[in-house]
């Protein structure tokens, strides 16, 4: 059956893009650029994750989850704190906000009734119908049609909550 919600693939892509963006901005900064002492030699360029988390005032585990592209959404306050910690430009800050925003759900696609279920409903003598997740009437038998008149109602109006 078709799902009414956004596919998990799209959400995973957005999470990965958020993580990639945070990582790229972290790696381009030096400790000196954010007022931290240079300290010991670094294996990789840029700030450490824990330094970004501390500068933003958030937990290291939370920041790691964001950067790893896990399914977490930062609040607007956390997004603003990260933008300050990473010294983002206005355009980069706007981009970070867009990446952190929950993705809108995909367009609704009417559900389909498997042929086997449709045959069972149609074979019954008593009134029977199948409804979907949004209570749309998707299939019915002759007895149900005699009572409810589903065949005379436009498809987009066949809903048990609207009847």
| pLDDT tens, the chain, 163 aa long | 333 344 456 667 778 999 999 999 999 988 777 777 776 776 776 888 999 999 999 999 999 999 998 888 899 999 999 999 999 999 999 999 999 987 667 777 888 999 999 999 999 999 999 999 889 999 999 999 999 999 999 988 899 887 6
pLDDT of residue 7: 46
CB atoms within 10 A of CB 131: 17
Average pLDDT of the chain? 86
Q: Which helix (H) or strand (E) holds 131?
A: strand 129-131
pLDDT of residue 138: 95
pLDDT in tens, 123-134: 999 999 999 988
3-state SS class at 137 = strand
Report the candidate in 91, 93, 102 with the shortest Cα–Cα distance to residue 6: 102
pLDDT of residue 3: 36
Report the candidate in 17, 109, 107 with the shortest Cα–Cα distance to residue 70: 17
Predicted model pTM: 0.58
pLDDT of residue 5: 40
3-state SS class at 139 = strand
CB 116 within 8 Å of CB 138: no
Pairing mode, strands 137-140 and 129-131? antiparallel
pLDDT of residue 103: 65
Q: Which of left, alpha, beta for 66 (phi over 0: left; psi -120 to 50: alpha)? A: alpha
Strand partners, 95: none
CA–CA dist 160, 153 (Å, integer): 12
Kindly state the percentage of the chain with pLDDT values over 70: 87
pLDDT of residue 34: 78
């Amino acid at each position: 059956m078709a799902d009414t919600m956004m596919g998990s693939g799209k959400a995973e892509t957005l999470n990965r893009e958020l993580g990639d963006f945070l990582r790229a901005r972290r790696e381009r900064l030096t400790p000196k650029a954010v007022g931290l002492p240079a300290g010991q030699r670094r294996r990789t360029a840029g700030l450490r994750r824990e330094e970004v988390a501390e500068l933003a005032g958030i937990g290291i585990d939370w920041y790691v989850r964001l950067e790893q592209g896990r399914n977490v959404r930062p609040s607007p306050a956390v997004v603003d704190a990260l933008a300050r910690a990473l010294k983002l430009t206005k355009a980069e800050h706007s981009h970070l906000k867009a990446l952190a925003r929950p993705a809108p759900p995909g367009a609704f696609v009417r559900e389909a009734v498997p042929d086997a279920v449709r045959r069972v409903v149609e074979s019954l003598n008593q009134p029977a119908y199948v409804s979907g997740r949004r209570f749309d009437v998707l299939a019915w038998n002759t007895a149900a049609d005699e009572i409810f008149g589903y065949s005379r109602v436009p498809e987009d109006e066949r809903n048990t909550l609207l009847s």
